[in-house]
């Protein structure tokens, strides 16, 4: 989700935003690797519900274990990490992100840039839609014997965030998290700094939404899944609320606007896509171990992902949410409860159906991953419902996040080809009638 | 005569269907798939064209006023004798190659035994293809293989010749025999050889038969379009735009066979597909099995091996069960272990088999549910649709879960994918417009 591996894009096609992002992330990892010497504090936390603005207000650096896991997947390291974790007794059914991380920690905690990551000074869980996150931190707590703050974040069972839900989370931030951060850093909570961070977040969020919505153009200038995971990198991880993020998203938006002006299609592993043949919406995360291979299967068919739910796991900004300096802790609470996998199934169906319509998609595709129950539970119901509402065909492929043993290229390719030909055949049928 | 062909390159067999320019079915052919995909396609097409020539002979007979039933009887005899000659032709190649293999591997001592086996196989051909004789398979590999094994056992017993050496000779030789294509002129070659006996059998209609065969041989067949499908489709000898997913081909093929089809279940060698189609045979949704082949044809093949039975014997044996054993394993390999355990516990083979068939169909039911359920009419295709116990289990489970609806199974269901591909080829031949790019077709 964060850095582009050198292999992921051809050098000639690298946009300047890409180069900038790579630098930002490399610098962050270098800073993390020096933290034991500089004395900077590190908090391990997850992408969904991350409270980066608050952490940054305390000058604390975030480390995102699931990002490290997906990076391990992209770099071909996750298989060995997973097998090591399994050797230690983790079952085949345990989330592969967890096992990849456990394996990485057990072999020296060397991160995606080849630098050693610091251990956590604090484990902060601010999202409970994924039960595995909780267990994951229990394992890390065993290993590092460090303080842990686990907030309970209510699920949006009724599809709305009520005042009492919001207050429940705000109270926990005030009573559990802020005192712990004060103790850890020896500083007082400074709400003005938090507000400045939140204001910068909102600016970057505006630009991110403009980038994602550029895919409403035909042809789309971007791919919102394969390309989208690069675009969400900074804002979903360590950079929300920073000036760097504001500048990155401003530059990215300008680049995408230019692509629209030139009528260019998205960048693919083989350069610019010349002909957009299929526009699809994708639900679910990508299989990181075969990211490029799957991307090529799409781009070879001229298939462009025009909207994806995965790029909303760290915030559903396009449906209106913004971090808000005028209600700092409340908007952080809303953020924790508002990320994609914390939405109930009817809301997810509404959202995908809306994407299919708004982005003029030919259909939608679900990548069901074995590891993640938060994503996968209910996906077949979603498939049927969205088909019914939009009249557009749904496709279904199965893989995993970072366990390469669950990716069968022949099987996936077969399903994709069938799916795209099905769209083709439907068009031909429509023309004939 | 111009024709289009659809080829379905499956994991077990390769099928070809030939249609005339106006869509009339002309012929179909099947062969066992092999590592050389091009050749498997070539053999399937050759077989389909042979079948086409027989159709032309039938037409030519009828054109001469021979009534349909009589024409079919004449063709039946001609085809049987044709197959005998084809078998002999292939056996002759086997004899030549075996001789070379003997030399190559320096097992000269085994040459006389191998030659005796080959001579016996040639002599047996009349009996093997006698009127009414049943054969376990139509593939030379299977037919020759089973005869060779039986005769090699006799040799080993009588002369003390090494059975393993003889079997190894066959295994080496058959690969090369299978990779020796016959191609153009196959029909003419063997039909001429078959005619001597065929004319005798035809009695009063001999002259008409002779003329009909001469007519059929003289027709030149010209391919105008071909579409390939199946698991090996990426390696089919067709350009990319002439390759279709087998899901679409099965949907369209099933629609062509049974126009009211709305749900298709295809259980092939290594995958199971649940497909929903609309009133035009256009696929609206589908589900396939994941990376696991439990619940596919291969599962039955594995079980047949475990029980030392032929694949065709499984279904009928399972049907004699009076008490279905519940099989818990969804994994092919585990099911094998469970099978052995059940047998050791004294369960009857037929009861266990009945349970295994049910287990396969239960997996298919889950795929069907995921694809959107079962809608009337429901068409079952693929090699497993030939297994009567699988059909019984399907019928029962569909009735229990979806109520009573029409279940279609064609005797030619194995050709469904190839038929669909041929229909796509027909559309290509009619110059159907290139696909529009996205956005041009509004919702």
User: Shortest CB distance from A421 goes to which of B245, B436, B437?
Assistant: B245
User: Shortest CB distance from B439 goes to which of A218, A410, A415?
Assistant: A218
Tell the residue number behind the tokens 């045979």, with chain if given. B281
Pairing of strands B13-20, B222-230: unpaired
Choose from B229, B245, B249, B440 for mutation: most chain A CBs within 10 A. Answer: B245
- Residue A9 pLDDT: 41
Helices (H), A214-344: 228-231, 233-236, 243-262, 291-300, 328-338
Report the alpha-carbon distance of residue B131 to residue B339 in Å, rounded. Answer: 39
Is residue A316 in some structural domain?
A: no
A381/chain B closest Cα distance in angstroms? 9
CB–CB contact B245 A425 (8 Å): no
Is residue A84 in some structural domain?
A: yes
CB–CB contact A276 B439 (8 Å): yes
User: Shortest CB distance from B284 goes to which of A276, A393, A396?
Assistant: A393
A384 touches chain B (CB under 8 A): yes
- Chain B contacts in chain A segment 187-226 (CB below 8 A): 218-219
CA pseudo-torsion sign B254, B257, B262, B263 = negative
The residues facing A367 across adjacent strands are A397
Residue A14's pLDDT band (cuts 50, 70, 90): low
Residue in chain B nearest A381 by alpha carbon:
B370
A277/chain B closest Cα distance in angstroms? 5
Is residue A386 in some structural domain?
A: no
- Residue B310 pLDDT: 81
- Chain A contacts in chain B segment 264-283 (CB below 8 A): 278, 280, 282-283
Report the alpha-carbon distance of residue A146 to residue A113 in Å, rounded. Answer: 25
A303/chain B closest Cα distance in angstroms? 9
A393 touches chain B (CB under 8 A): yes
The domain spanning residue A122 has which CATH number? 3.40.50.11890
B437 CB neighbour count, 10 Å cutoff? 15
B430 touches chain A (CB under 8 A): no
What residues in B contact A417, CB-CB < 8 Å? Answer: 245
Q: Helix B68-105 vs helix B140-159: angle between axes, to the nearest 10 degrees?
A: 50
What residues in B contact A278, CB-CB < 8 Å? Answer: 438
A250/chain B closest Cα distance in angstroms? 29
Residue A255 has pLDDT above 80, yes or no: yes
Mean pLDDT by runs of 10 across the 443 residues of chain B is 92 92 93 84 92 94 93 93 93 94 91 94 92 84 91 91 91 89 83 91 91 93 91 71 89 96 91 92 87 75 84 89 80 76 89 90 90 94 91 95 95 93 91 41 29
* Distance, first Cα to last Cα, chain A: 44
Total domains, chain A = 1
Q: CB-based contacts of B334: which residues, under 8 Å, 6+ apart?
A: none
A98-101 long-range contacts, Cβ below 8 Å, gap at least 24? A98/A69, A98/A132, A98/A135, A98/A136, A98/A139, A99/A403, A100/A68, A100/A69, A100/A72, A100/A73, A100/A402, A101/A65, A101/A66, A101/A68, A101/A69, A101/A72, A101/A136
B291 touches chain A (CB under 8 A): yes
- Residue A204 pLDDT: 97
Choose from A414, A419, A424, A429 for mutation: most chain B CBs within 10 A. Answer: A414
Domain extent listing, chain B: 46-218, 260-409
Residue A4's pLDDT band (cuts 50, 70, 90): very low
Q: CB-based contacts of A297: which residues, under 8 Å, 6+ apart?
A: A412, A413, A416
Is residue A83 in some structural domain?
A: yes
- Residue A13 pLDDT: 53
Q: Helix B349-371 vs helix B388-402: angle between axes, to the nearest 10 degrees?
A: 50
A301 touches chain B (CB under 8 A): no
| pTM of structure | 0.82
CATH 3.30.420.40 fits B260-409, yes or no: yes
A109: phi > 0 → left, psi -120 to 50 → alpha, else beta; which?
Answer: left
Is residue A20 in some structural domain?
A: yes
CB–CB contact A414 B288 (8 Å): yes
What percentage of residues in chain A have a pLDDT greater than 90?
A: 88
B439 touches chain A (CB under 8 A): yes
Report the alpha-carbon distance of residue B255 to residue B416 in Å, rounded. Answer: 9
Label each residue of A179-215 as H, E or C: HHHHHHHCCCCCHHHHHHHHHHHHHHHHHHHHHHHHH
Is residue A304 in some structural domain?
A: no
Is residue A249 in some structural domain?
A: no
Choose from A425, A428, A431 for mutation: most chain B CBs within 10 A. Answer: A425
CB–CB contact A418 B283 (8 Å): yes
Can you read off the two tokens belonging to residue B416?
Answer: 């469904």
B20: phi > 0 → left, psi -120 to 50 → alpha, else beta; which?
Answer: beta
A36/chain B closest Cα distance in angstroms? 45
Choose from A384, A428, A429, A433 for mutation: most chain B CBs within 10 A. Answer: A428
B158 touches chain A (CB under 8 A): no
Report the alpha-carbon distance of residue B201 to residue B194 in Å, rounded. Answer: 11
Residue A433 has pLDDT above 60, yes or no: no
Is residue A175 in some structural domain?
A: yes
C-beta separation of A153 from A127 below 8 A: yes
B188-195 long-range contacts, Cβ below 8 Å, gap at least 24? B188/B217, B189/B89, B190/B82, B190/B85, B190/B86, B190/B89, B191/B53, B191/B78, B191/B82, B191/B217, B193/B85, B193/B88, B193/B89, B194/B78, B194/B81, B194/B82, B194/B84, B194/B85, B195/B78
Better-scored residue on pLDDT, A176 or B162:
A176
- Residue B432 pLDDT: 55
* Residue range of the domain that includes A136: 6-185
B438/chain A closest Cα distance in angstroms? 5
- Chain A contacts in chain B segment 388-427 (CB below 8 A): none
Label each residue of B381-416 as H, E or C: ECHHHHCHHHHHHHHHHHHHHHCCCCEECCCCHHHH
Report the alpha-carbon distance of residue A366 to residue A394 in Å, rounded. Answer: 7
User: Shortest CB distance from A427 goes to which of B248, B290, B435?
Assistant: B435
Report the alpha-carbon distance of residue A430 to residue B242 in Å, rounded. Answer: 21
Give me chain A's average pLDDT, please: 93
Q: Distances from the Cα of A130 to the Cαs of A313, A372, A376, B307, in angstroms?
A: 12, 8, 12, 47
B203/chain A closest Cα distance in angstroms? 53
pLDDT for A177-219, tens place per residue? Answer: 999 999 999 999 999 999 999 999 999 999 999 999 999 999 9
What residues in A contact B247, CB-CB < 8 Å? Answer: 418, 421-422
Can you read off the two tokens belonging to residue B332?
Answer: 């092919």
- Residue A57 pLDDT: 97
- Residue B92 pLDDT: 93
B332/chain A closest Cα distance in angstroms? 18
What residues in A contact B433, CB-CB < 8 Å? Answer: 431
What residues in A contact B246, CB-CB < 8 Å? Answer: 414, 418
B288 touches chain A (CB under 8 A): yes
The residues facing A34 across adjacent strands are none
User: Shortest CB distance from A421 goes to which of B244, B285, B438?
Assistant: B244
Rg (CA), chain B: 24
A408 touches chain B (CB under 8 A): yes
A27 touches chain B (CB under 8 A): no
């Amino acid at each position: 989700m964060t850095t582009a591996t050198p292999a992921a894009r051809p050098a000639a096609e690298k946009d300047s935003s890409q180069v900038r992002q790579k630098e930002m992330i490399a610098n962050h990892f270098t800073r993390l690797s020096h933290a034991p010497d500089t004395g900077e504090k590190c908090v391990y936390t997850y992408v969904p519900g991350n409270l980066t603005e608050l952490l940054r207000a305390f000058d604390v650096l975030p480390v995102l274990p699931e990002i490290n896991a997906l990076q391990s997947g992209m770099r071909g390291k996750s298989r060995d990490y997973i097998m090591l974790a399994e050797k230690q007794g983790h079952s085949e059914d345990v989330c592969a992100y967890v096992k990849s991380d456990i394996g990485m920690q057990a072999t020296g905690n060397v991160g995606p840039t080849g630098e050693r990551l610091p251990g956590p000074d604090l484990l902060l869980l601010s999202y409970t839609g994924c039960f595995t996150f909780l267990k994951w931190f229990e394992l890390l707590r065993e290993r590092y014997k460090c303080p842990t703050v686990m907030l309970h974040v209510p699920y949006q069972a009724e599809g709305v965030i009520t005042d009492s839900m919001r207050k429940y989370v705000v109270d926990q931030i005030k009573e559990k998290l802020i005192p712990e951060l004060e103790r850890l850093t020896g500083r007082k909570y400074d709400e003005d700094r938090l507000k400045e961070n939140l204001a910068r977040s909102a600016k970057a969020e505006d630009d991110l939404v403009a980038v994602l919505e550029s895919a409403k153009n035909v042809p789309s200038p971007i791919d919102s899944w394969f390309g989208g995971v690069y675009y969400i990198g900074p804002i979903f991880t360590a950079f929300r609320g920073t000036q760097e993020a504001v500048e990155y998203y401003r530059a990215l938006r300008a680049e995408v606007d230019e692509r629209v002006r030139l009528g260019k299609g998205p960048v693919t592993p083989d350069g610019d896509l010349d002909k957009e043949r299929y526009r699809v919406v994708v639900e679910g995360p990508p299989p990181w171990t075969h990211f490029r291979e799957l991307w090529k299967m799409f781009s070879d068919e001229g298939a462009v992902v025009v909207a994806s739910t995965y790029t909303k796991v760290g915030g559903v900004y396009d449906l209106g949410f913004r971090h808000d300096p005028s209600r700092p802790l409340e908007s952080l609470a809303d953020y924790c409860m508002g990320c994609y996998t914390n939405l109930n199934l009817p809301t997810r169906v509404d959202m995908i159906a809306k994407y299919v319509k708004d982005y003029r998609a030919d259909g939608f595709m679900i990548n069901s991953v074995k590891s993640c129950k938060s994503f996968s539970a209910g996906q077949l119901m979603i498939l049927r419902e969205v088909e019914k509402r939009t009249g557009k065909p749904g496709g279904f492929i199965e893989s995993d996040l970072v366990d390469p043993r669950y990716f069968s290229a022949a099987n996936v390719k077969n399903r994709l080809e069938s799916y795209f030909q099905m769209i083709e055949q439907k068009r031909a049928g429509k023309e004939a009638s | 005569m111009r024709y289009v062909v659809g080829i379905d390159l499956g994991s077990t067999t390769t099928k070809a269907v030939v249609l005339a320019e106006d869509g009339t079915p002309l012929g179909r052919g099947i062969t066992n798939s092999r590592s050389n995909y091009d050749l498997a396609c070539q053999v399937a097409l050759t077989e389909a064209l042979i079948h086409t020539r027989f159709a032309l002979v039938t037409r030519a007979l009828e054109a001469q006023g021979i009534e349909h039933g009589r024409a079919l009887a004449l063709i039946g005899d001609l085809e049987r004798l044709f197959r005998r000659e084809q078998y002999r032709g292939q056996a002759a190649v086997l004899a030549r190659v075996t001789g070379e293999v003997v030399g190559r591997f320096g097992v000269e001592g085994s040459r006389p035994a191998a030659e005796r086996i080959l001579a016996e196989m040639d002599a047996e051909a009349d009996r093997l293809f006698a009127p009414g004789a049943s054969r376990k398979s139509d593939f030379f590999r299977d037919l020759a293989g089973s005869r060779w094994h039986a005769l090699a056992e006799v040799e080993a017993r009588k002369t003390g010749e090494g059975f393993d050496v003889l079997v190894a000779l066959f295994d080496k030789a058959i690969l090369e025999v299978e990779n020796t294509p016959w191609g153009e002129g196959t029909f003419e070659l063997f039909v001429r050889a078959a005619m001597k006996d065929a004319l005798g059998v035809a009695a009063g209609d001999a002259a008409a038969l002779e003329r009909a065969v001469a007519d059929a041989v003289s027709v030149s067949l010209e391919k105008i379009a071909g579409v390939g499908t199946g698991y090996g489709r990426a390696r089919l000898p067709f350009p990319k735009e002439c390759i279709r997913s087998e899901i679409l081909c099965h949907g369209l093929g099933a629609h062509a066979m049974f126009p009211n089809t709305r749900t298709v279940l295809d259980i092939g060698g290594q995958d199971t597909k649940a497909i929903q189609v609309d009133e035009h045979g256009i696929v609206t949704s589908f589900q396939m099995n994941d990376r696991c082949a439990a619940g596919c044809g291969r599962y039955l093949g594995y079980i047949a091996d475990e029980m030392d039975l032929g694949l065709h014997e499984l279904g009928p044996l399972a049907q004699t069960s009076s008490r279905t054993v519940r099989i818990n394993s969804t994994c092919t390999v585990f099911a094998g272990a469970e099978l052995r355990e059940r047998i050791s516990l004294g369960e009857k083979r037929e009861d266990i088999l009945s349970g295994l068939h049910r287990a396969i169909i239960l997996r298919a039911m889950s795929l069907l549910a995921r694809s959107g359920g079962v809608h009337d009419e429901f068409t079952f295709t693929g090699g497993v649709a030939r297994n009567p116990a699988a059909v019984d289990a399907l019928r029962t489970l569909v009735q229990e879960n979806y109520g009573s609806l029409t279940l279609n199974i064609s005797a030619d269901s194995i050709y469904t994918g190839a038929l669909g591909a041929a229909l796509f080829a027909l559309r290509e031949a009619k110059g159907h417009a290139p696909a529009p790019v996205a956005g041009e077709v509004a919702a």
